[in-house]
Amino acid sequence: MGDWMIGDDRRRRATDQLRHLRRANDGEVAWNTEAPADFTYLFHPNRVLVRRADAEEFEGIVRRVGERLFKGEARRDDVNLLGGALLRYVLPERLNDESVPDVLDQLEEAGLERGKATPDHWVHVSPGGGGGTTCPAVEPQETGLKEPWPPGGPQEETKCRVNVVVVDTGWHPPAATDPRTPWMAGITGDDELNDPAHLRPYAGHGTFIAGVVRRMAPATDIFVEGFCIGGVGGGGILESDMVVQLEEAMKHEPQVINLSAGCRTRMDLPSAAFQTFYEEHLEGKDCVLVAAAGNDSTAAPFWPAAFDWSVGVGSLDRDGRISDYSNYGVSADVYALGRNLVNAFPDGRFECHETPDKGDIRVFNTGMARWSGTSFSAPVVAGLIAREISEHGVSAADARDKVLGRAVYDSDPTVGPHMELQQPFV
């Protein structure tokens, strides 16, 4: 099992997050290192994802070498993923207790092309730690402020309404009618079923993000597509389930999707699940996906932010410098404010679950919270793209290009050229 205790606060936070995910998903969480704090990706211990076009090759090699790997036969799971374009296989018990990555190593040695079969990775909205997780960078904090930050700006003239879907942990419906958060009016979504006496980890995440989008782009219709409703999942969802949620999001005909979640992958290979979703549902559509770059302080690819078809967003501090927790490189096409944002949050009692604040009780009673992470820089950019569409009546792709084109280049000796969005919205 590795050592759950040794390490600094950052490593201990990683083990805290992993413990919470394991408790919520008993028997379904594995990682790629001996020490839990050092993991770079998380995966289901018995599932493999294969694109339909590669199924025949995969099944043929499994038949050829399976006797020396398995005590039974691998079977195709009876689920419909992306119209059958993505297949999920369940591996039987292994002869020598090999992990899924070990099995894939052996299948590739037997001739399977690398990347044609992948683990079913865990996509997560928790803070960064050892790796493989994403935002927020800290647990939510109380604030005495009565106005959101960034404040955004009014839209006096618009040429069209814009549909934005926030794919996240759900939505806190009282925020839409709370007089303290009037900008939330009209936002709808899947109720995350909050209990004020005990706010769960990641409660309010989707609500906060929807509020950031609305402040950036007041003339938007926002729907929060929820996963982990009622705390199920511990803030995580498997790739094979996430693409189903993204399919649901497409039913709302969005021009912009905000996904403040993601994952590292085996050998840092592109996520087959997200790529298949793009090819089946996004390619050729007037819709832009904006994704958080992740909070692991690394240049390693974080999916889906690292894809060239998505807009990956890293985090800036208030002084315009890249936040120390933010990922950079291929996962960050642009950087926006991600430190100490203020927006809508459910009232209630919250107990911190992560080092160094574990056990700390925070009481939220202003309808808002302060939060940091690339989770919250992503909706700044998603909102600016939506605003560009509504003000000028342009396509989502054109709006994306115009927003990114207004970013400015700077030089940072640790990460090379980077972009930061200009005032007045960041």
Asked if residue 360 and residue 217 are part of one domain, the reply reads yes
Q: How far is it, in rounded angstroms, from Cα 61 to Cα 191?
A: 45
For tokens 């949050």, the residue is 345
Q: Which pLDDT does position 270 carry in this prediction? A: 97
**Single pTM value for the model:** 0.93
Helix axes 374-392, 205-216, angle to 10 degrees: 40
Which regions of 293-423 does DSSP assign to beta strands (E)? 311-316, 334-337, 341-344, 348-351, 361-364, 368-371, 408-412, 416-420
SS3 412: strand
For tokens 């402040």, the residue is 215
Buried b (16+ CB within 10 A) or exposed e, 190-228: bebebeeeebbbbbbbbbbbbbbbbbbbbbbbbbbbbbb
Point out the domain boundary residue: 68, 100, 124. Answer: 124
Point out the domain boundary residue: 124, 147, 180. Answer: 124
For residue 179, being part of any structural domain is answered with: yes
Q: Which pLDDT does position 17 carry in this prediction? A: 80
Q: Residue 83 gets which letter from DSSP?
A: G
For residue 151, being part of any structural domain is answered with: no
Alpha helices by DSSP H, listed for 368-426, are 374-392, 396-405
Asked if residue 237 and residue 115 are part of one domain, the reply reads no
For residue 282, being part of any structural domain is answered with: yes
Tell me the mean pLDDT per 10 residues along the chain, length 426.
Answer: 60 79 87 86 97 96 94 92 97 96 97 97 67 60 94 80 94 97 97 94 94 95 85 79 96 97 96 98 97 94 97 92 92 94 97 87 97 95 96 96 87 50 47
Tokens of 244: 């189903």
The count of other CB atoms within 10 Å of the CB of residue 409 is: 8
Residue 119 belongs to a domain with what CATH number? 3.30.70
Residue 66: give the domain boundaries: 9-124
Provide the number of structural domains found in the chain.
Answer: 2
Alpha helices by DSSP H, listed for 110-204, are none
User: What spatial distance separates the first Cα and last Cα of the chain, rounded to whole Å?
Assistant: 43
Asked if residue 224 and residue 108 are part of one domain, the reply reads no
